[in-house]
Amino acid sequence: MLNKSDIRAHLDDSLISMFGVPAEHIRADARLYEDLDIDSLDAVDLIIHLRDVTGVRVQAEEFKTVRTVSDIVDTVYALTR
């Protein structure tokens, strides 16, 4: 079972390797679009990647309400319950 810090570690890795986000910009309250330059097209790739590494299927619909790094962690975590 994944805990929140595992999910966060996977997410950090993805943000850095897939989108070239500088590691120091990734904070729990960092906003995806405004602070990290992750757009709606990136979100699609991110969902697929997170599914591959965590086995959790996040729906694109659920992702639309996601604003920050911690929102993603919470959404994925809720789905592992």
The C-alpha atoms of residue 27 and residue 57 are separated, in whole angstroms, by 23
| Sole window of 3-11, 12-20, 24-32, 50-58 interacting with another protein (rule: CB under 8 A) | 12-20
31 in helix, strand or coil?
A: strand
55 in helix, strand or coil?
A: coil
The least CB distance from residue 16 to another protein, in Å, is 11
Quick one: angle between helices 69-80 and 40-54, nearest 10?
A: 40
Does residue 20 belong to the site contacting another protein (CB under 8 A)? yes
Tokens of 50: 């997170």
Convert residues 33-72 into a mask of x (bound to another protein by CB under 8 A) and - (unbound).
------xxxx-xx---------------------------
Residues forming contacts to another protein in the complex (CB under 8 A) are 18-20, 39-42, 44-45
